[in-house]
Structure 1
Amino acid sequence: MADEQQTDKPQVLRDTDDDARRLARTLVRGARYMALAVLDPETGFPSASRALTGTDVDGVPVILVSSLSGHTKGLVADPRCSLLAGEPGKGDPLAHPRITVQCLAEGVVRDTPEHARVRQRFLDRHPKAALYADFGDFRLFRITPQGASLNGGFGRAYMLTGSDLVIPEPGTTTEWLDLQEKLKNMPEQAKKIAARLGTENGKNWRFGGVDRAGIDLIAGDFQLRHEFDLLAESPQAVLDYVFEIANIR
């Protein structure tokens, strides 16, 4: 009888499929900022704040934070943390997609190739952060996903693994950073792609980042993530795609 009752219970979680993974990646990689929750080292209570976010070449979120802040002290004491992404729109805020990602934080060591890469990608997304990024009390962290809870709206709940959010074999860093530099000088293509995606095209669009899974488009305070249908084989493949989609009439 117990087994029958269990079988009759409604299924709360849906099976995680490619559409769910795509939505999850878009929410995380398309966020300009996220809510960041850490464990307060003094009280042990969860403590939530807001942090500017970017992504590394493998899609792992990165943050730039002051060592004097409470959430930085929390990350240093205990790397377990959570990120919440997803903006509400009109109507019920719970009807809009959002994702909570459980992560492990790891500081990025200064004066290393990794730091140079993460710093550049973060500043390409948040240029104004250059005013303080190199201050001695600021640190970069990679916030590596371990698992996630995705709510795509009413009746659309999924559980994801960390690997669902991370790009496999992200590619040679130098080549991808070179591509990112090229795209920074292609505002017309960025504007055309934004228009193709059905987004207002009267703004000063620019490319804010690129990886094997997609491109980031930025216009002022607005950011748009465009995920590819398939992982790009090379930076040249992305460049070809950008020209192709930008030139479609």
Structure 2
Amino acid sequence: MSAQAVKNARQLLLEEYRGVLSTHSRSMPGFPFGSAVPYCLDANGWPLLLISRIAQHTRNLQTDNKCSLLVGERAAEDVQAAGRLTVLAEARQLVDPPVVEAAARRYYRYFPEAGDYHRVHDFDFWVLQPVRWRYIGGFGAIHWLDEVALANPFAAGDGAQEQGMVAHMNDDHAAAIAHYVEQAGLPASPPAQLAGIDSEGFHLRIGQALHWLPFAEICETPLAVRQALVAMARR
């Protein structure tokens, strides 16, 4: 297994935030059913979805939970030359209240508008537990991968550690966030907000778009994250 392919596949999963969910059609047996879904990653680094109980793909998963999620580079001019990742997975609905609450807090930071229709309509959180990964990094760069996901140490448990770091940056370091935006060549308006932090980088939310920026090195503690953010702000 290529370590670089694993890293590239995981970074693609982090950089994107929407894909095509393919399920086994219940109404048309034998046919795959594809639908566009947004996602963020849970504490295990697995895709976390919020889907309606009346949606066709939800009904399909309730009958057969085997599915796949296809993620490709956004705005790629040549989709065959661009990177793409297929996650073969088993979907599992989250039902334990503390787990659902932790998932909701993280998901809402990525997709704030989701809070309204989650409360008003019948939506549930589902996680895609990976079984195998297929990563294509361009022509000839084709890999079957057994392990791509990396657990997020800051989102573990109730996610309070990550939530505290994100809130601190958004409340007290708007100038640093604006500097990250400028460094990355991202849109300056509307103002960016941190949505999540993992050991390899962090997500900025600008309007409804999400952008992942990497750290120079893996950060396994809040202190390491702080040092990495300070270093980026001083560039």
Normalised TM-score (structure 1): 0.83
- Aligned residue for 1:67? 53
Which of the numbers 160, 180, 202 marks the counterpart of 1:215?
202
Q: Distance in 2 between matches of 1:191 and 1:22?
A: 27
Greater Rg by CA = 1
Which of the numbers 22, 28, 51 marks the counterpart of 1:37?
22
Do the aligned partners of 1:66 and 1:138 also contact (CA within 8 Å) in 2?
Answer: yes
Amino acid at match of 2:9: A
Shift of 1:201: 5.0
Which aligned pairs between 1:1-249 and structure 2 lie closer than 5 A? 15-17=1-3, 19-44=4-29, 45-89=31-75, 91-109=77-95, 112-135=97-120, 137-161=122-146, 163-167=147-151, 171=156, 173-185=159-171, 186-196=173-183, 198-200=184-186, 202-203=188-189, 204-248=191-235
- C-alpha spacing 1:180/1:144, structure 2 compared with 1 (3 Å): farther
Shift of 1:165: 1.7
Q: Distance in 2 between matches of 1:51 and 1:37?
A: 10
Deviations 1:131-171 (A, max 9, x none): 2122351100111222111111112111111x322327665
Do the aligned partners of 1:28 and 1:85 also contact (CA within 8 Å) in 2?
Answer: yes
Q: Distance in 1 between matches of 2:152 and 2:55?
A: 33
Q: Distance in 2 between matches of 1:83 and 1:146?
A: 12
In structure 1, the gaps of 5 or more residues are 1-14
Shift of 1:107: 0.7
Deviations 1:193-221 (A, max 9, x none): 2333x323533222111122321122124
Q: Distance in 1 between matches of 2:17 and 2:153?
A: 24
Q: Distance in 2 between matches of 1:116 and 1:93?
A: 37
In structure 2, the gaps of 5 or more residues are none
The percentage of aligned residue pairs carrying the same residue is 23
Amino acid at match of 1:107: Q
Amino acid at match of 1:243: V
Shift of 1:222: 3.0
- Aligned residue for 1:9? none
Do the aligned partners of 1:26 and 1:226 also contact (CA within 8 Å) in 2?
Answer: no
Q: Distance in 2 between matches of 1:48 and 1:123?
A: 24
Q: SS of the counterpart of 2:120?
A: coil
Do the aligned partners of 2:94 and 2:124 also contact (CA within 8 Å) in 1?
Answer: yes
Moved over 6 A (4+): none
Do the aligned partners of 1:215 and 1:225 also contact (CA within 8 Å) in 2?
Answer: yes
Do the aligned partners of 1:187 and 1:207 also contact (CA within 8 Å) in 2?
Answer: no
Q: Distance in 1 between matches of 2:217 and 2:228?
A: 12
Shift of 1:98: 0.9
- C-alpha spacing 1:179/1:58, structure 2 compared with 1 (3 Å): farther
Q: Distance in 2 between matches of 1:174 and 1:221?
A: 24
Report how many residues are paired.
230
Amino acid at match of 2:150: V
Do the aligned partners of 1:22 and 1:227 also contact (CA within 8 Å) in 2?
Answer: no
Deviations 1:68-96 (A, max 9, x none): 00001111221111111113545422111
Normalised TM-score (structure 2): 0.88
